[in-house]
Chains A and B, each alone.
Chain A
Amino acid sequence: MLVHSAGGLFVLWAVATLTFFAVRLIPGDPAQAVLGGPGSQASPEALAAVRAEYGFDQPLLVQYLRELGRLATGDLGRSYALNMDVAPLLLAQLGGTLLLALLALAVAWLLALALATWSTLGGKTAWAVGSGIEITAAALPHFWLATALIILFSTWLGVLPPISTPGPVGLVLPVLTLAVPLAGFLGQIMRESFQAALESPFVLSARARGEGELGIRFVHVLRHAALPAVNLSGWAFGSLISGAVVVETIFARPGLGRTLLNAVTLRDVPVVIGVVLIVALAYILMTLVTDLAGALLDPRGRTA
């Protein structure tokens, strides 16, 4: 646990360092960028003032150490484009994205579980159909799935709003968009481990005791089948973050993803760095939680 945390801190520091030096590769004067780019024709005095305010006139090493010091206290700097502090800005967006991602994760697990249960119950045809559905679902790009869902549910059927209105109704399409491809991946891996567990001796003995096929799946098999899928969580998280960028943009939903895309488009460096750091931190925490969950589900992996 302690080793894990130290490793996590190292990764966080390395991410911050890498991003700090990477954004120095952006061509042009950062002071110009703060004042709205080369088109803004800022006066030399204004440029000098900005350089002093943001510390661009200091040696690189001093800037770097200052940045690290600021980051260590949770200060993410000031947005170039929005003229407000980055930390509160991103904190306000975090909740919406987190809700979206967690709901999508839950729905994806349910869908994958239903598909895996059904396709291992129904023999050869069900297996082939299930496999086909999963491969197709996994290949669906978020931006097209969202478009198709909007065409179907908003344009043709008119039952759901094409943009994400506040409240549960507005969440349906964004959550489905994120959940379906993820369910495709989770379903494939779950079906394989379902099948492997179904062929194991403990299932044979359960069958011999006369337990039903559905009961066997939920009582005995699920725990074994869940483990490989839990191990996918780190990747699933990344996929959900990438997906959030697309989904929040399409459904005009406020959140971290849309903020990130806007910041990349406007070259709002501090906001991009802020999102990168938050995502990296979340990824590290996620990996920790995954390891713990894995140990809970599978006693063999536990160390004394």
Chain B
Amino acid sequence: MSELEVQATLSRGERSRSRGRRVTPFEVLAVVVALFLLVAGLLPGLLAPGDPLGIDPAAAFQPPSPAHWFGTDESGRDIWTRVVHGAGTSLVIGFAATAIGLGVGLVLGTIAGMLGPAVDFSVNRLLEVLFAFPGLLLALLFILIFGPGVWTATVAVGLSASPGYARIIRGQLLAVRRSSFVEAATVLGRTRRQLLLRHILPNTLAPLFVLGTLGVGQAIVWASALSYLGLGAQPPAAEWGAMLSAGRTYLTTAWWMSFFPGLVIVLTAVAATVLGRAIERRARYA
């Protein structure tokens, strides 16, 4: 099982006490975080007018204060400004990696689910092999070959997630294929192409919104982990993982350098999980 499959299973199995359309406080919080990220990603100047890379050595290592909400780093750069400007980077990485993962997963999953048992068998063996590179291992292998950097890290994260997507999509496809409305359409003499495009794919893709939401959160965390390890975005780029990594040296004297960028990563990940589940629940009880 991949992390994504675990997440998907958890959000499907959730026997929340507040079913249906009631909005929980967690969900309100998640929407606020998501809106903040979108605004920060699209219009960072609105929330933080300063320059995320502008140095001011006289103001180095300032603790959090009204002038510098999140403090400053070793070159006097404002952490709040850098966190806000980092949102765009993280969102682009998160969405790009998810698009890659979903794209590859969709192709593999559709091939396996539609082209008969022999193809299904082969694709399943391939997925089994890919699952034997658990967690970040596939991403690390990819970076070994193509070298570190933001874009290799993004592609690496997307590819590592793709077997998980493929397996979920395949399962979904097979379930839809066996359902009675597809059987009815077959009896009515629809061609294979019509079946796939009109009936099967739309019903397979709807759950992908949930998966995608969960996936973006996970991709952002993984990409920032790679940056933290020095394999993704490089300092002084305003990327959350890279900022955390830069703060590592000053952990005992300037905790705010590591604490706040990490807090935003956690909030993003929690918000993605909560939103994914909220969509899932509403789709089920709609």
Among A131, A162, A272, contact of B251 (Cβ-Cβ < 8 Å): A162
Q: Interface residues of A, CB < 8 Å — how many? A: 66
Task: Give the interface centre of B26, B224, B225 by most chain A CB atoms within 10 Å.
Answer: B225
Complexed CA–CA distance, A140 and B264 (Å): 11
B135 in contact (CB, < 8 A): yes
Contacts of A195 in B (CB 8 A): 15
Contact yes or no, B269 A141, CB < 8 A: yes
Contact yes or no, B266 A141, CB < 8 A: yes
Contact yes or no, A279 B255, CB < 8 A: no
Contact yes or no, B273 A276, CB < 8 A: no
A34 in contact (CB, < 8 A): no
Contact yes or no, B145 A139, CB < 8 A: no
Contact yes or no, B140 A260, CB < 8 A: yes
The distance from the CB of A258 to the nearest CB of chain B, in whole angstroms, is 10
The distance from the CB of A176 to the nearest CB of chain B, in whole angstroms, is 16
The distance from the CB of B125 to the nearest CB of chain A, in whole angstroms, is 7
Interface readout for A276-292 with B: 1 if CB under 8 Å, 0 if not?
A: 10011001100000000
Which of A21-29, A49-57, A68-76, A296-304 contacts the other chain? A21-29
Contacts of A283 in B (CB 8 A): 131-132, 134
Interface readout for B104-131 with A: 1 if CB under 8 Å, 0 if not?
A: 0000000000000000000001001101
Q: Which of A122-155 contact B (CB under 8 A)?
A: 124, 127-128, 131-132, 135-136, 138-144, 147-148, 150-151, 154-155
Closest residue on chain B to residue A242 by CB atoms: B135
Complexed CA–CA distance, A185 and B15 (Å): 15
Complexed CA–CA distance, A22 and B142 (Å): 8
The distance from the CB of B31 to the nearest CB of chain A, in whole angstroms, is 15
Contact yes or no, A276 B141, CB < 8 A: yes
Contact yes or no, A238 B135, CB < 8 A: yes
Contact yes or no, A272 B125, CB < 8 A: no
Contacts of A14 in B (CB 8 A): 125, 129, 132
Contacts of A170 in B (CB 8 A): none
Task: Give the interface centre of B128, B145, B247, B274 by most chain A CB atoms within 10 Å.
Answer: B145
Contact yes or no, A264 B231, CB < 8 A: yes
B195 in contact (CB, < 8 A): no
Contact yes or no, A144 B265, CB < 8 A: yes
Contact yes or no, A235 B259, CB < 8 A: no
Knowing A147-B244, A242-B137, A265-B231 touch, does A136 contact B266 (C-beta < 8 A)? yes
A234 in contact (CB, < 8 A): yes
Which secondary structure dominates where chain A touches chain B?
A: helix
Interface readout for B1-40 with A: 1 if CB under 8 Å, 0 if not?
A: 1110110011001111100000000100000000000000
Contacts of B129 in A (CB 8 A): 11, 14-15, 18
Complexed CA–CA distance, A232 and B134 (Å): 13
B44 in contact (CB, < 8 A): no
Contact yes or no, B2 A155, CB < 8 A: no
Contact yes or no, B229 A249, CB < 8 A: yes
Q: Interface residues of B, CB < 8 Å — how many? A: 54
Complexed CA–CA distance, A26 and B3 (Å): 28
Contacts of A218 in B (CB 8 A): none
Contact yes or no, B270 A135, CB < 8 A: yes
Contact yes or no, A239 B135, CB < 8 A: yes
Closest residue on chain B to residue A10 by CB atoms: B125
Contact yes or no, B224 A147, CB < 8 A: no
Q: Which of A242-260 contact B (CB under 8 A)?
A: 242-243, 245-246, 249-250, 260
The distance from the CB of A246 to the nearest CB of chain B, in whole angstroms, is 6
Q: Which of B252-278 contact A (CB under 8 A)?
A: 252, 255, 258-259, 262-263, 265-266, 269-270, 273-274
Among A154, A155, A239, contact of B3 (Cβ-Cβ < 8 Å): A239
Complexed CA–CA distance, A25 and B256 (Å): 41
B248 in contact (CB, < 8 A): yes
The distance from the CB of B95 to the nearest CB of chain A, in whole angstroms, is 18
Among B131, B134, B274, contact of A242 (Cβ-Cβ < 8 Å): B134
Interface readout for A107-132 with B: 1 if CB under 8 Å, 0 if not?
A: 00000000000000000100110011
Contact yes or no, A127 B17, CB < 8 A: yes
Knowing A185-B6, A276-B141 touch, does A241 contact B262 (C-beta < 8 A)? no
B230 in contact (CB, < 8 A): yes
The distance from the CB of A41 to the nearest CB of chain B, in whole angstroms, is 21
A188 in contact (CB, < 8 A): yes
Residues of A whose CB lies within 8 Å of any CB of B are 7, 10-12, 14-15, 18-19, 22-23, 25-26, 124, 127-128, 131-132, 135-136, 138-144, 147-148, 150-151, 154-155, 162, 185, 188-189, 192, 195-196, 231-232, 234-235, 237-239, 241-243, 245-246, 249-250, 260-261, 263-265, 267, 269, 272, 276, 279-280, 283-284
A-B contact pairs, 5 of them (CB 8 A): A135-B270, A151-B258, A238-B3, A280-B133, A283-B134
Residues of B whose CB lies within 8 Å of any CB of A are 1-3, 5-6, 9-10, 13-17, 26, 125, 128-129, 131-137, 140-141, 143-145, 148, 217, 221, 224-225, 228-231, 241, 244, 247-248, 251-252, 255, 258-259, 262-263, 265-266, 269-270, 273-274
Q: A151-B255, A192-B10 are in contact. List 16 more A-B contacts (CB 8 A).
A: A12-B132, A15-B133, A23-B144, A124-B17, A138-B273, A141-B265, A143-B225, A147-B262, A151-B251, A151-B259, A192-B14, A238-B3, A242-B135, A264-B144, A272-B141, A283-B132
